[in-house]
């Protein structure tokens, strides 16, 4: 009799725990829905997720020495909050405070392990810890001359490629609204590795040197066409000291994160192939560049998260960025053109906008 009663009581407790868990999940979903609705309300009002004063303010805080242990960040709703940052060390690694940019999708559909941030406010830009390898180990045995020499080979390869032929043809037809005097590249990758300058081409690592070759070649093409000197700037937190020396030798300036975004203006060509930050969304809020080159963007389907057998959360989605649409400021029109390498070029009068930002 006692065993039966214990069994019944255990079943009741289990049912009660399950009901409580379902209630918690329901409350969590409701909170997320209300949070997402508020985000979209502000976004559709035209509130920028990223604005120049916000980035300038955070950059000033990042530049302070000694490094800060907390940062004051302003959210989408105008709320300002102090966020702590803890520095930690790891052998062979360099850890620095850095800006973290979240997409609009990432805010309204947060990862399950980030849902607790809903209570902190709406912050598209926060401060995180960026860890990278100590460049000394990667640079060992690699000279600046070796990097620039390998880079020259890629410039030569590009000059005889179908990709460059189509780019030349596309740009020759473009009627730019103004003269371009600057190219800014984002997330083009480092040009040194343990395998040598530009890495191993057979493993696809040479794409970073090819992307940098494209920046230089585009600058020369525009200069020949317009007679205007074109400055080249690139931004990537992965650059080692050897990368920076090679870039400087070619006349390319390195914009320390995240100052590259502040360089973009209406006379800029933006080049960004596969960055891990939402470059297009950031630029759409900050300014209207003369032209952009990127990989074609597909509209993202609803993101779904599942947990693997080892407990790791896995995201399933078609793409990590929004569909971009073009818009004209003076009726002349904005144009896009796809080329063989999968790149897409956008140019025209009035720049471009992210979907919903007409």
Q: How far is CA 128 from CA 18, 84, 92, 93, 256, in A?
A: 36, 9, 19, 16, 16
Cis geometry, peptide bond prior to residue 210 (ω within 30 degrees of 0): no
What is the pLDDT averaged over residues 125-154?
Answer: 78
Reply yes or no on whether the pLDDT at 32 is more than 90. no
What is the pLDDT averaged over residues 321-348?
Answer: 44
Of 291, 276, 302, 296, nearest to 342 by C-alpha is 296
Which is more confident, 104 or 57? Answer: 57
CA distance 174 to 334: 10
**How does the average pLDDT of the chain come out, rounded?**
77
Q: How far is CA 342 from CA 189, 208, 249, 274, 296, in A?
A: 18, 16, 29, 11, 7
**What pLDDT score was predicted for residue 285?**
94
**What pLDDT score was predicted for residue 350?**
42
Neighbours of 20 (CB within 10 A): 10
Q: Which domains does the chain carry?
A: 1-133 (no CATH), 137-354 (3.40.50)
The segment with the largest mean pLDDT, out of 125-139, 248-262, 304-318, is: 248-262
Task: Detail the DSSP E strand segments found in the chain.
Answer: 70-74, 80-84, 93-101, 125-133, 182-186, 192-193, 196-197, 231-235, 252-254, 268-271, 291-294, 304-307, 313-316, 324-326, 334-338, 344-348, 352-354
Give the whole-number percent of the chain exceeding pLDDT 70. Answer: 66
Q: How confident is the model at residue 2 (pLDDT cuts 50, 70, 90)?
A: low
Reply yes or no on whether the pLDDT at 67 is more than 90. no
**What pLDDT score was predicted for residue 146?**
85
**pLDDT tens digit string along 219-231?**
999 999 888 999 9
**What pLDDT score was predicted for residue 271?**
95
**What pLDDT score was predicted for residue 237?**
86
What is the pLDDT averaged over residues 274-291?
Answer: 91
Reply yes or no on whether the pLDDT at 184 is more than 90. yes
Alpha carbon of residue 132 to chain centroid = 17
Tokens of 137: 């180990």
**What pLDDT score was predicted for residue 319?**
42
Q: How confident is the model at residue 358 (pLDDT cuts 50, 70, 90)?
A: very low
Of 53, 62, 65, nearest to 83 by C-alpha is 62
**pLDDT tens digit string along 218-277?**
999 999 988 899 999 999 988 888 889 999 999 999 998 889 999 999 999 999 988 889
CB 266, CB 317: distance < 8 Å: no
Q: What is the DSSP letter of 299?
A: P
CA distance 317 to 146: 40
CA distance 174 to 166: 13
Alpha helices in 104-161 (DSSP H): 104-108, 135-139, 144-159
Cis geometry, peptide bond prior to residue 88 (ω within 30 degrees of 0): no
Which is more confident, 140 or 58? Answer: 58
**What pLDDT score was predicted for residue 230?**
97
CA distance 56 to 236: 18
Reply yes or no on whether the pLDDT at 56 is more than 90. yes
């Amino acid at each position: 009799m006692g065993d039966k009663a214990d069994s019944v009581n255990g079943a009741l407790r289990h049912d009660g725990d399950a009901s409580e868990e379902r209630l918690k999940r329901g409350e969590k979903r409701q909170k997320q829905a209300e949070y997402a609705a508020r985000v979209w309300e502000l976004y559709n009002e035209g509130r920028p997720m990223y604005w120049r004063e916000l980035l300038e303010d955070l950059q000033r805080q990042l530049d302070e020495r000694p490094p800060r242990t907390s940062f004051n960040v302003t959210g989408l709703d105008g709320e300002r909050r102090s966020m702590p940052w803890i520095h930690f060390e790891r052998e062979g690694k360099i850890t620095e405070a850095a800006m973290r940019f979240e997409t609009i999708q990432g805010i309204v559909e947060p990862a399950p392990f980030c849902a607790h941030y809903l209570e902190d406010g709406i912050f598209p830009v926060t401060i995180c810890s960026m860890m990278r390898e100590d460049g000394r180990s990667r640079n060992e045995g690699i000279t600046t001359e070796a990097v620039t020499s390998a880079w020259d080979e890629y410039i030569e390869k590009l000059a005889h490629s179908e990709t460059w032929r189509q780019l030349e043809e596309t740009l020759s037809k473009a009627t730019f609204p103004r003269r371009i005097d600057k190219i800014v590249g984002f997330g083009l990758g480092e040009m040194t590795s343990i395998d040598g300058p530009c890495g191993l081409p057979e493993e696809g690592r040479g794409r970073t040197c090819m992307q940098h070759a494209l920046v230089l070649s585009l600058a020369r093409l525009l200069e020949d066409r317009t007679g205007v000197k074109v400055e080249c700037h690139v931004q990537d937190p992965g650059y080692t000291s050897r990368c920076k020396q090679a870039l400087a030798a070619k006349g390319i300036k390195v914009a320390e994160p995240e100052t590259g975004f502040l360089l973009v203006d209406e006379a800029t060509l933006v080049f960004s192939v596969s960055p891990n930050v939402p470059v297009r969304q950031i630029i759409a809020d900050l300014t209207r560049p003369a032209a952009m080159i990127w990989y074609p963007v597909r509209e993202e389907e609803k993101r779904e998260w599942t947990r693997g057998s080892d407990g790791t959360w896995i995201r399933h989605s078609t793409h990590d960025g929004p569909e971009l649409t073009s818009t004209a400021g003076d009726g002349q029109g904005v144009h896009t053109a796809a080329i063989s390498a999968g790149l897409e070029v956008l140019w025209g009068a009035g720049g471009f906008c992210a979907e919903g930002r007409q």
